[in-house]
C-alpha cells in the first residue's frame, strides 16, 4: 500500500509544479526521487490452538470443561512501520523499494489452582497410545500439590519488495501504473506451554516446572505483478492497488521441551531433563519443507497535499499468504508417556512401545489487515 499511496501523493504534489507532456504517462521527470514513511496498525489472523492444554476432567467426557487451549490466540492490534523509496528513470519507467516490519508482541492465558481440598484439579489431557485411550497428567492434585499452566503466543511479521514500474498514458486526473518484481515475506511465531506443580504444606517444598516450545518460521520468496490506479483532483488524491506474488514458502518448525525439578535428588539443587509434556524426543528438533504459495495484496488510500512536495495520507490494505505453518497447530496429542520423565517416571526415561508423538506439517493460511497513516515527500 505504501507504493500506491506514495505515488498518488507525488503525482498530486508534482501536478502543481510542472506541465504533463502528452503521452508521457504522467508528470514525473527522470531523476526525480521520493520517500514515504508510514505508521502501521495491523490485525493478524488469530493463531489456532487446537490441542486442549488443561481440563477439569477426562477430555471428551460429559461435564468436562477445557480450561486452557483448544481455541485461538492473537496479539492484535500490532503496531509497525513501513518505508518506501522510488526513483523515476524517465517519464514512464521507474524503480521502487518497500520494506516493513511489525516487531514482536506476546499474549498469554493462564489457569491456576491452589491445591486445597475445595479447589479444582488441573489436568493435562493426552491420548495415551500405550493404553489406546484418553489419559491425564495432574498439574495440580489436591491436597498434595498446587498447579499453574500458561500458554503464550509471540509473533512478528516483516517483508520487502523491489519493483520496476511502467506508467500508462495519463487520462485527465487518472494515472495507471503496472509493476513487476520480487517480494519477500517472513512470519515468525512461537507457542509456549509452561506449567508449575509445587507441593503444598505439609509436604516438602519442591520444584516441578515444565516447558514445551513450538517455533514456526515462514519465509516467502516470489515474483510479483501488480497494477495501481491514482486519482488526483485538487488538493485531494486517492489510490488503489492490487498485487499478486507467486513463489516458495520455506516452512520451518523447531520443537523443544524440558523439565526442571528437584524431586529426584531429595529436594536439592534443581535438575534439568529433556522433554516436557508435548515436546518429546520423538518429535523434537527442527523440521523443514518448501511449499508453493501465493501472496496477494490489495489496498486503498486517501491523501491530502499539504505542500507541493508533501502529502499526508491514510489507507487500508489486506495481505494474504497461503501455505503457512502456525506453531500451536503442530502440537500432537498422541503421547507415549514412557518417553518423558514429566509424566511421573523416575529418571532416566525408559521408552517402551510406539514412538509417539511424531511430527507432521499442519499447514493453513494467514492474513493481515492494516490501517496506515503516512507522509510522502518528493525531492
All structural domains of the chain with their residue ranges: 2-378
Average pLDDT (268-280) is: 96
pLDDT band, residue 30 (cuts 50/70/90)? low
For residue 185, the SS3 value is: strand
Average pLDDT (264-284) is: 96
Is the pLDDT at 258 greater than 80, yes or no? Answer: yes
Query: To the nearest whole number, what is the mean pLDDT of the chain?
Result: 91
pLDDT tens readout for residues 115-142:
999 999 999 999 999 999 999 999 999 9
Residue (of 206, 183, 180) closest to 295 by Cα position: 183
pLDDT band, residue 213 (cuts 50/70/90)? very high
Contact 300, 315 (CB under 8 A): yes
Is the pLDDT at 229 greater than 90, yes or no? Answer: yes
Residue (of 20, 37, 60, 113) closest to 313 by Cα position: 37
pLDDT tens readout for residues 186-210:
999 999 999 999 999 999 999 999 9
Q: What is the pTM of this model?
A: 0.89
Is the pLDDT at 220 greater than 60, yes or no? Answer: yes
Structure confidence at residue 7 (pLDDT): 37
Residue (of 361, 49, 335, 82) closest to 190 by Cα position: 49
Is the pLDDT at 75 greater than 50, yes or no? Answer: yes
Is the pLDDT at 2 greater than 70, yes or no? Answer: no
What b/e readout covers 222-236, taking b as 16+ CB neighbours within 10 angstroms? bebebebbbbbeeee
Stretch among 186-190, 359-363, 375-379 having the lowest mean pLDDT: 375-379
Average pLDDT (147-175) is: 94
Q: Nearest 5°: CA angle at 192, between 186 and 198?
A: 165
Q: CATH second-level architecture of 2-378?
A: Beta Barrel (2.40)
Sign of CA dihedral 122, 127, 130, 131: positive
Stretch among 189-193, 233-237, 321-325 having the lowest mean pLDDT: 233-237
Q: Specify the DSSP element, H or E, that contains 335.
A: strand 334-335
For residue 56, the SS3 value is: coil
Amino acid at each position: 500500500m505504501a507504493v500506491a499511496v506514495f505515488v498518488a501523493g507525488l503525482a498530486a504534489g508534482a501536478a502543481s509544479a510542472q506541465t504533463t507532456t502528452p503521452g508521457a504517462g504522467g508528470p514525473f521527470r527522470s531523476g526525480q526521487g521520493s520517500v514515504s514513511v508510514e505508521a502501521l496498525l495491523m490485525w493478524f489472523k488469530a493463531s489456532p490452538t487446537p490441542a486442549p492444554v488443561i481440563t477439569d476432567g477426562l477430555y471428551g467426557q460429559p461435564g468436562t470443561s477445557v480450561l486452557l487451549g483448544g481455541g485461538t490466540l492473537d496479539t492484535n492490534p500490532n503496531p509497525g512501520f513501513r518505508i518506501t523509496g522510488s526513483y523515476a528513470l524517465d517519464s514512464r519507467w521507474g524503480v521502487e523499494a518497500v520494506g516493513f516490519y511489525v516487531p514482536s508482541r506476546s499474549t498469554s492465558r493462564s489457569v491456576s489452582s491452589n491445591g486445597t481440598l475445595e479447589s479444582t484439579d488441573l489436568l493435562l489431557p493426552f491420548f495415551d497410545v500405550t493404553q489406546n485411550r484418553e489419559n491425564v497428567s495432574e498439574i495440580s492434585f489436591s491436597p498434595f500439590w498446587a498447579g499453574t499452566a500458561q500458554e503464550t503466543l509471540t509473533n512478528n511479521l516483516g517483508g520487502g519488495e523491489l519493483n520496476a514500474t511502467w506508467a500508462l498514458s495519463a487520462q485527465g486526473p487518472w494515472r495507471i501504473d503496472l509493476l513487476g518484481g520480487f517480494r519477500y515475506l517472513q512470519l515468525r511465531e512461537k507457542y509456549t506451554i509452561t506449567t508449575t506443580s509445587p507441593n503444598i504444606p505439609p509436604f516438602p517444598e519442591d520444584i516441578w516446572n515444565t516447558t514445551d516450545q513450538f517455533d514456526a518460521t515462514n519465509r516467502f520468496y516470489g515474483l510479483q505483478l501488480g497494477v495501481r490506479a491514482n486519482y488526483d483532483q485538487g488538493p485531494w488524491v486517492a489510490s488503489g492497488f492490487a498485487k499478486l506474488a507467486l513463489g516458495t514458502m520455506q516452512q520451518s518448525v523447531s520443537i523443544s521441551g524440558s523439565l526442571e525439578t528437584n524431586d529426584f535428588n531429595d529436594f536439592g539443587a534443581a535438575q534439568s531433563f529433556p522433554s516436557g509434556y508435548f515436546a518429546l524426543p520423538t518429535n523434537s528438533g527442527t523440521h523443514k519443507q518448501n511449499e508453493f504459495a501465493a501472496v496477494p495484496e490489495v489496498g486503498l488510500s486517501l491523501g491530502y497535499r499539504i505542500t507541493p512536495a508533501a502529502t499526508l495520507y491514510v489507507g487500508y490494505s489486506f495481505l494474504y499468504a497461503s501455505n503457512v505453518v502456525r506453531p500451536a497447530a503442530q502440537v500432537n496429542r498422541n503421547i507415549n508417556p514412557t518417553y518423558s520423565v514429566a509424566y511421573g517416571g523416575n529418571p532416566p526415561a525408559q521408552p517402551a512401545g510406539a514412538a509417539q508423538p511424531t511430527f507432521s506439517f499442519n499447514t493453513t493460511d494467514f492474513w493481515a489487515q492494516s490501517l496506515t497513516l503516512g507522509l510522502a515527500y518528493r525531492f
